[in-house]
Amino acid sequence: MRVSIIFAAALALVACALQPKLPAKPYYTEDILVVSKDDAYNFWIPEEGSVREALVKSNGPPGSGGCFRVSVIIDSNGRLFDPKSPVMVGPAGMDDWVPRFLSVLRYRPAKENVNRTPIQTVLDWSMFKVGEVGMPAASRFNDRHDAGTKPSSESSPDAACEAKMDELEKGAPKT
């Protein structure tokens, strides 16, 4: 009986430790600035290694060939809060995976963002396969470009996936 109680307590601790943690409240150094998705990289950039960590902790995307768009607030500590209106195109299971991925993802201020201005913006991500690990295309920007530069067009979802997300946002039926 005593061993069962100890085992159950240890199992509960392990389960709690494996859950993604979000801070209880966002931290703001100043008022939230609403910026377009094209200007977001002038304020915040994914932290080095954060995309890979988020992929591992969220058990990777459910497959490749998908994309998603979500409105978020990035607080002054580079954490994402208040994800709204997710639009997803791709394999089944994305609706469960995207919140787990976003809960681990962290951003760092761009060189221009010396005040760590919090922003509300829209994030577009697309997934592709590299070996056995699915990776959002936006992570390629972080791996190859200086933190103060704007992302290249390859960091956004491909045109077909972006067009499907646009249709879904407008309420058009899926094709």
For 1-17, write each residue's pLDDT tens digit.
565 555 445 545 444 44
Cα 49 to chain center, whole Å? 13
Name the region of 95 (left: φ>0; alpha: ψ -120 to 50; beta: rest).
Answer: alpha
Structural domain spans, the chain = 2-169
Contact 134, 63 (CB under 8 A): yes
**Residue linked to tokens 């290249």:** 152
What pLDDT is attached to residue 32? 96
pTM, full prediction: 0.69
Measured CA to CA, the distance from residue 64 to residue 117 in angstroms comes to 33
Stretch 143-164: mean pLDDT:
53
Mean pLDDT is lowest, of 34-43, 114-123, 161-170, for 161-170
Cα 145 to chain center, whole Å? 19
Measured CA to CA, the distance from residue 58 to residue 100 in angstroms comes to 5
Measured CA to CA, the distance from residue 97 to residue 88 in angstroms comes to 11
Higher-pLDDT residue of 23, 94? 94
Instruction: Kindly report, residue by residue over 42-89, the tens digit of the pLDDT.
Output: 999 999 899 889 888 988 888 877 889 999 999 999 999 999 888 998
Measured CA to CA, the distance from residue 150 to residue 50 in angstroms comes to 18
Buried b / exposed e across 102-122, counting CB within 10 Å, b at 16+?
bbbbbbbbbeebeebbbbbbb
Residue 91 clears pLDDT 60, i.e. is over it:
yes
Residue 164 phi/psi, 5° resolution? -65, -40
